[in-house]
Amino acid sequence: MGRLQKYLAECGIASRRKCEDYILQGRVKVNGRVVRELGVKINPEVDIIEFDGKIVRRENKKIYIMLNKPTGYITSAKDQFGRPTVMDLIKIKERIYPVGRLDYDTSGLLLLTNDGGLANILMHPRHEIVKTYIAKIKGIPTEKELERFRNGLLIDGYLTSKAEIEILSIENRTCVVEIKIHEGKNRQVRKMCEAIGHPVIFLTRTKIGELSLGKLKPGEWKYLTPKEIEYLKSLR
Ligand code: URA
């Protein structure tokens, strides 16, 4: 519940003082009836407020969040097995949802928003936004295997498009690689590594396009900066 003039001001009609004038002038209706007193309490969830005959709504504030998803969390609002979800990590009152998904056992950069338009753009394959991953894989791929990875592989009867893979370091019988793909099929990186005979031991996403995790630690999240939001919108 809140006062009518405060609500009108929050919706961008005018200053609170000016909104009081409008109420006194009889230009505001609550549930179809003109209200001329100041200080009337309303509930914006249920009451219909009109100004000069037009319904007044609070602009739905758009929220853009970057999470460093830890392993052991699922990317959805609810899990049928009661496992922790990424929503358990972000306690805010607005409803937001993840843009795409990371597997339960994958960590790293996940975006969440209530901006459905932008989410659709980011997820649409047409936009081919590059996603960067760091993976620890079993064994050390040969140059031939790396070329197969880069040129396209058959996974689940689907031919992957061009991808990048570079070896960053080698330790014992494993190595760490940087992978860049433009697509987002289910468990794609894992399946591609498997297809060249080097299954993933550990997988994390470090970048979506030019956005990177920066200093965010697993489990931490932040609101995107205006510059980061502007960048995402420029991908339209
Ligand atoms: N590829 C995968 O295999 N898993 C992810 O979580 C993301 C990309």
3-state secondary structure the chain: CEEHHHHHHHCCCCCHHHHHHHHHCCCEEECCEECCCCCCEECCCCCCEEECCEECCCCCCCCEEEEEECCCCECCCCCCCCCCEHHHHCCCCCCCEEECCCCCCCEEEEEEECCHHHHHHHHCHHHCCCEEEEEEEECCCCHHHHHHHHHCCEECCEECCCCEEEEEEEECCEEEEEEEECCCCCCHHHHHHHHCCCCEEEEEEEEECCEECCCCCCCCEEECCHHHHHHHHHCC
- The ligand 1 atom nearest the CA atom of 101: 6
The CA 101 to ligand 1 mean position distance, Å, reads: 8
Is 105 designated active site? Answer: no
Q: Which CATH number does 64-125+211-233 carry?
A: 3.30.70.580
- Whether 2-55 shares its CATH topology with 130-208 is answered no
pLDDT in tens, the chain (236 residues): 788 988 887 777 777 888 899 999 999 999 999 999 998 999 888 899 999 998 887 766 789 999 999 999 999 877 888 899 999 999 888 888 899 899 999 999 999 998 888 887 888 777 789 999 999 999 999 999 999 999 999 998 999 999 999 999 999 999 999 999 998 889 999 999 999 999 999 999 999 999 999 999 999 999 999 999 999 988 87
Domain 130-208 has CATH 2.40.100.10: no
State which of 102, 105, 177, 204 you would mutate to test the pocket of ligand 1, scoring each by most atoms of that ligand within 8 A of its C-beta: 102
- Please give the CATH topology (third level) of the domain spanning 2-55: 3.10.290
pTM of the model: 0.77
Extents of the domains making up the chain: 2-55, 64-125+211-233, 130-208
The CA 179 to ligand 1 mean position distance, Å, reads: 11
